[in-house]
Amino acid sequence: MNTVSTEGQFTENVAPGVRVTFQAERLRYQVKSSMHEKVVIDNPQFGRMMMIDGAVQLSSADAFVYHEMMGHVPLLAHGRAERVLIVGGGDCGLAAEVLQHRGVRQVVQIEIDPQVVKLARRYFAEVNASVFNDRRFRLIIDDGAEFVARTDERFDVILVDSTDPGGVSLPLFTETFYRNTQRCLRPGGVVVTQAGVPFLQAQAFRGSMERLASVFPLVSCYLVPIPCIFGGPLAFGWASSTLSHDSPTLDVLTERQAASGIETRYYTPELHKASFALPRCVRDVVDEATGTGEPPARSARKIAAGRPRVAGSAP
């Protein structure tokens, strides 16, 4: 279990043999519940930070990068989204970005841990305060995997803003879950998922791509560098039955953003398109998952190529 030490530091074990330490000028909150271990600290570089189960989830300095790119990319690509489902996303910053789209009539958010929402409201109000006064927002405390399995509701966009696979979040990375999200989509809908850091989480990333591709005919991912997340850009999985990741054109995206009136700090239509330009080692994994490339194990080794060997690690 990662904790804030007596020296005022928080050490995150990001991968075997790799640790990142954040100075904690002040420990705001720390508790371990039946669902998650949660820590909130103040850091001189990243501002207020939240860690869940030993991993950085949010910082006040760069939260806009994650939230804008997970929200605006699929909504502007879709162009007519009215109903949006968010699975996870307990800090509610993603919901705040989605609700900036005037055409969105309802955002349903399913969060399994009510304590995460309470902490976010208390310590990260600057990223989520608007959400709780918006009548279009409906928060449901429930298991996201169980919700999509039983609901009769349908959505234009489904955003899976989860922690890394493990514990209560593990069901959100299964083929069954992805199949249920497909069932919950309206025609023309799209699912975007948090798919991990490909360089440090090569196997988990490949597994996510393969399971998405086993359900959806159109699968890809886009990469977003999140400063507080170590190990290279974070991948967001893209899955749809009809909406390709390379649609629409740059001109259409530019027109849609201008018409929306949304002011962003990170997202631009040009960056939207560029984020889908993948390094070869990542593109190969996606191609293999979708049945157009070489065997998966070979490409997983490509992502890992160049990493120093750790004593005692498997080849």
Query: In the prediction, which pLDDT does 33 show?
Result: 73
The mean pLDDT value for 189-210 works out to: 95
Residues 69-81 pLDDT 10s = 999 999 999 999 9
The mean pLDDT value for 27-36 works out to: 82
What share of the chain in percent tops pLDDT 90?
80
Query: In the prediction, which pLDDT does 165 show?
Result: 75
Catalytic one of 91, 113, 161, 284: 161
Burial of residue 302, with CB atoms counted within 10 A of its CB: 0-12 exposed, 13-18 middle, 19 or more buried: middle
What share of the chain in percent tops pLDDT 70?
90
Does the structure show a pLDDT above 50 at 64?
Answer: yes
Nearest alpha-carbon partner for 258 in 135, 267, 292: 267
Query: In the prediction, which pLDDT does 311 show?
Result: 37
- Angle among Cα 59, 60, 63 to the nearest 5 degrees reads 70
The per-residue pLDDT of the chain, averaged, comes to 90
Please count the other Cβ atoms lying within 10 Å of the Cβ belonging to residue 272: 20
Nearest alpha-carbon partner for 131 in 84, 173, 165: 84
Does the structure show a pLDDT above 60 at 2?
Answer: no
The mean pLDDT value for 253-275 works out to: 97
62 noted as active-site residue: no
Does the structure show a pLDDT above 80 at 168?
Answer: no
The mean pLDDT value for 11-30 works out to: 91
